[in-house]
Amino acid sequence: MLDVRGRGLSEASDTLDYSLEAQAADVIAFAEALGLQRYAIVGHSMGGRIGVRAARQHPAGLTRLVMVDPPVSGPGRRAYPAQLPWYIDSIRLARAGIDAEGMRRFCPTWTENQLRLRAEWLHTCDERAILASFNGFHEDDIHADLPHVRVPTLLMTAGRGDVVRAEDVEEIRKLVPGVLVSHVADAGHMIPWDDEAGFYCAFGDFLGAALPAA
């Protein structure tokens, strides 16, 4: 699992390109550097958009694409449901030393362990990267990328989320003929955390074998 540039243990700087294009290029370059002959891209949320942009370029070795509840916002489309201050305010508090309890007001439904992890790592998110990605949610048109995806594709959606709606699924079906769609009913946007077993189950055997539920 890659830390996207500007997050976690990856590089951050004033001069770094935080665009969707650069993020997609990172994924392709990573696979090439490892010499992967066959690989799948599984991207959650923003990662799903990165996966689409990467798949559009038809990189050698890519065999599958999984989009897990990807934001469908873009030029002329409805805005991404989360607001920018939700990210920026919590990042600044994390840099000042927020604990799990302090993080709870931003993520009230998360478990204690999930809150601790967020409090521990959120300070590594560079505000410049977050702003660029948030703006990209509304400026980058992944719907123009989707018809160029040539590998088998799975779209996973959340039953309790508002990121991908039924009408969005139908549009994606038209843009990516043959796309498979799975639905995790008892999960919000953070599907892997809200229903881990349901998340694994939703892959079916799409990646070549069923995934273990634990």
Tens digits of residue pLDDT in 134-178 = 999 999 999 999 999 999 999 999 999 899 999 999 999 999 999
| CA dist list (Å): 60 to 4, 36, 40, 88, 162 | 21, 9, 11, 37, 34
43 vs 178: CA distance, rounded Å: 19
Tens digits of residue pLDDT in 201-214 = 999 999 999 998 76
> Cα-flanking dihedrals φ and ψ of residue 88, to 5°?
-65, -45
7 vs 165: CA distance, rounded Å: 28
| CA dist list (Å): 8 to 2, 38, 104, 135 | 9, 26, 20, 20
Mean predicted lDDT score pLDDT of the chain = 95
Secondary structure letter of residue 93 according to DSSP: H
Handedness of CA 49, 153, 157, 102 (dihedral sign): negative
Token pair of 4, please? 């996207």
Kindly list the structural domains of the chain, giving each domain's residue range(s) and its CATH number in brackets, ordered by start.
Answer: 20-202 (3.40.50.1820)
As a whole number, mean pLDDT of residues 78-101 equals 94
Tens digits of residue pLDDT in 25-82 = 999 999 999 999 999 999 999 999 999 999 999 999 999 999 999 999 999 999 999 9
Nearest to 66 by CA among 146, 153, 1: 153
- The pTM of this model reads 0.95
